[in-house]
Amino acid sequence: MKTLTIDAKDIHYTPLNQQIRAAIADGVKEITLNNILGQRFIGDGLRGDDVTITVNGVPGGDLAMFMSGPTIIVHGNADHAPGNTMDKGKVIIHGSAGDAVAHSMRGGRVYVRDSIGYRGGIHMKKYLEKRPILVVGGSARAFLGESMAGGLIIVLGLGDTKPIAEQGVGSGIHGGEIFVRGPVDKLCLGSGTKQAPVTEDERVMIRPIIEDYAKSFGIDPAPLVAADYTRIAAISARPFASKYTLE
């Protein structure tokens, strides 16, 4: 298999992405980027289902934006909005990520080992077989899953912090679902949401996702699979349906 290692020290993101595109066009399947320090848009608009990019360092914002296919593994934290409007592929972050993680994501998976900032999974959406999945190992800050239209978010709350301790979760949600390990204080829920304990069917549905997540980070899936979860979803798929009267 063709591989490539790029020393990204002092390289601007545009020539860096150009090198990545050229390598993929050349048949390279595994690309390692060393000394990444704040380069934005890594993998932006990139295609290639069988391509894996390993990022060593801290990438800048909008990692894997509009990406359609590749897998990106980050050994470090990520800045805001990794997986922004991502279409297909996988982003695995061995660290934490900033605000608006998986913003408007429409397919693929984003796994974050530690915690994420505000508005995670905001306006994720689903169409046919395209179903975006965001799994967070630690905690998520306020407005998780705001305006969510489809897809799946799981917050595991590993470590010392509560998975959800801030308000506005699922505010304006009209599709998709959010699973949080353990109970969720109802004060944290946004308007238009409801919560219920996980059902057996749902447990079966999330199990392979949790197992895949655990495998990605080399942790034991058993306690996560066995744990109790709270499911947060929309009260109505059409929150605005009765808001208007005709002129």
Q: What is the residue whose two structure tokens read 């934290």? A: 77
- In this complex, which beta carbon is closest to other proteins, that of residue 99 or of residue 210? 99
54 near 34, Cβ under 8 Å? no
- In this complex, which beta carbon is closest to other proteins, that of residue 114 or of residue 146? 146
Can you give the C-alpha Rg of the chain in angstroms? 18
- In this complex, which beta carbon is closest to other proteins, that of residue 151 or of residue 163? 151
45 near 84, Cβ under 8 Å? no
In DSSP terms, 57 is beta-bridged to: 36
| Angle formed at CA 96 by CA 222 and CA 192, multiple of 5 degrees | 80
Interface residues toward other proteins, by CB under 8 A: 13-14, 17-18, 21, 40-41, 44-45, 47, 61-62, 65-68, 80-81, 84-85, 87, 100, 103-104, 106, 119, 122-123, 125-127, 130, 146-147, 149-150, 172, 174-175, 237-247
**Shortest Å, Cβ 84 to other proteins:** 6
**Shortest Å, Cβ 158 to other proteins:** 26
**Shortest Å, Cβ 110 to other proteins:** 14
**Shortest Å, Cβ 173 to other proteins:** 10
Amino acid type, 44: D
- In this complex, which beta carbon is closest to other proteins, that of residue 147 or of residue 216? 147
Question: Closest Cα partner for 91 from 7, 3, 213?
Answer: 213
